Amino acid sequence: MYSAVQPSGNLTIGNFTGAIRNWVRMQNDFDCFYAIADMHAITVRQDPALLRRRTIELAALYLACGLDPEKCTLYVQSQVSAHAELGWILNTIAYVGEMERMTQFKDKSQKHADNINMGLMDYPVLMAADILLYQADYVPVGIDQKQHVEITRDLAIRFNHRYGDTFRVPEPYILKEGAKIMSLQDPMKKMSKSDENLNASVFLADDRDTVIRKFKRAVTDSDSEIRISDEKPGITNLLNIYAAFKGCTLQDAEREFQGSGYGDFKLAVGETVADALAPVQEKQKRLLADKAYLNDVLKSGAENAFRAARRTLSKVCRKIGFYRGE
Ligand code: TRP
């Protein structure tokens, strides 16, 4: 199993219930490689000091959420040079036309019109290199990354066809929609780490008062009934969040708040989320105070990753005819 996350922006509770908790769950059942994709992050402009800080904060966060370095490999992408090397080779079988058609490339080109760099277009090729280096069977991602996993499959099949069987062809493992958390200000929109309205998203780093205040201000609707309904996206979203953090079903949540008022309900959701975040924040803070430990975890993660990656890379170099002595 292979997945990665970019160290850009602050993570929201949506990232927590979607990506992070799934990574933690899967480490027990699969041989997992998890990367912090700093090489992907620099395809849009980053402040170097901030990038460095976010990388280590993200590593600490994942450990705080329960990733266990004894059970999985957690590492920083740029610490394993094989990613760049395989990325270059895959570039020679990837077509400009297919990269230009990628939805995320088109979106980001619009958003960063002053910085449409080669890396931005090449992003999916580097992602393919990430995945294929580890011969991953499954790639847990959100629906927005599915197209990139599909292009990874295409590149693997193309390479295997041209040079002989080399790469395992991976499957996307799309994370459940049930965990989809919407904006608190516009429940038709996904909660996003880059929303301009600061009340729309609850961040994992938010303190208790901030969490509770944001839920208090969450958009609901004019009647006062708490039930799951397409006509009540705000209330349904809050019930979803409550269920995700309480670990109960959506129906249980609905039952629990039957007959409650909106005010009490929002407060209960806010408190539940704040209660769940507190120990994670506390643990993350403790880990960040011990940089030597974190650096160690990442160093042995990178060594582990390199060992696995090198096997694939040697094979690739042989297949394409790079001279390594005869
Ligand atoms: N592009 C992914 C994202 O932004 C992060 C990523 C980089 C990734 N390399 C990967 C995800 C390999 C899965 C597999 O979410």
Which residues are marked as active site?
108, 190, 193
Residues 118/100, Cβ–Cβ less than 8 Å:
no
Tell me what pLDDT residue 176 has. 66
Length of the chain: 326
Q: Is the pLDDT of residue 178 over 60?
A: no
% of the chain surpassing 70 pLDDT: 99
Dihedral sign for Cα 37, 75, 47, 117, please. negative
Ligand 1 atom nearest the C-alpha of 127 is 9
Q: Which pLDDT score is estimated for 179? A: 56
Mean pLDDT in residue range 149-168: 98
Mean pLDDT of 181-203: 93
Residue 123: partners with Cβ closer than 8 Å, 6 or more residues away: 40, 43, 102, 104, 105, 148
Q: Is the CB of 15 under 6 A from ligand 1?
A: no
User: Are the C-beta atoms of 212 and 270 separated by less than 8 Å?
Assistant: yes
Q: What SS3 state is found at 40? A: helix
277-316: per-residue pLDDT in tens? Answer: 999 999 999 999 999 999 999 999 999 999 999 999 999 9
With 90 as the cut, is the pLDDT of residue 9 above it? no
Give the model's pLDDT for residue 193: 84
**pLDDT (average), residues 203-220:** 97
Radius of gyration of the chain (CA): 21
Task: Read off the pLDDT of residues 22-57 as tens digits, 9 standing for 90 and up.
Answer: 899 999 999 999 999 999 999 999 999 999 999 999
pLDDT tens string 219-266: 998 888 999 999 999 999 999 999 999 989 999 999 999 999 999 999
* Closest C-alpha to ligand 1, atom 14: 3
Do 105 and 99 touch, CB atoms closer than 8 A?
yes
Distances (CA, A) of 314 to 213, 299, 306, 320: 54, 22, 12, 10
Residue 19 has pLDDT above 90, yes or no: no
Q: What is the DSSP string of 264-292?
A: HHHHHHHHHHHHHHHHHHHHHHHHHT-HH
Number of the ligand 1 atom closest to the C-alpha atom of 136: 14
Starting at the earlier edge strand, list the strands of the sheet with 32-36: 2-5, 32-36, 72-76
Mutate to test the pocket of ligand 1, among 148, 193, 194 (most ligand atoms within 8 A of CB): 148
pLDDT at 177 > cutoff 70 = no
Position 17 confidence tier, pLDDT thresholds 50, 70, 90: confident
pLDDT at 21: 86
Give residue-wise pLDDT tens across range 87-135.
999 999 999 999 999 999 999 999 999 999 999 999 999 999 999 999 9
Rounded to the nearest integer, the mean pLDDT of the chain is 95
Least confident of 60-64, 118-122, 148-152, 190-194: 190-194
* Ligand 1 centroid distance, CA of 127 (Å): 6
Q: Judge if the beta carbon of residue 2 lies within 6 A of ligand 1.
A: yes
pLDDT for the residue 192: 87
Helix, strand, coil percentages (3-state) for the chain, rounded to 5, are 60, 10, 35
**Given ligand 1 and candidates 1, 2, 6, which is best to mutate, with the most ligand atoms within 8 Å of its CB?**
6
Distance 179 CA to ligand 1 centre (A): 19
Half-sphere exposure at residue 191, Cβ-oriented, CA atoms within 13 angstroms: 30
Give me ligand 1 centre to Cα 126, in Å. Answer: 9
Sign of CA dihedral 33, 39, 40, 41: positive
DSSP 145: G
Return the best residue to mutate from 105, 127, 135, 155 for the ligand 1 pocket (most ligand atoms within 8 A of CB): 127
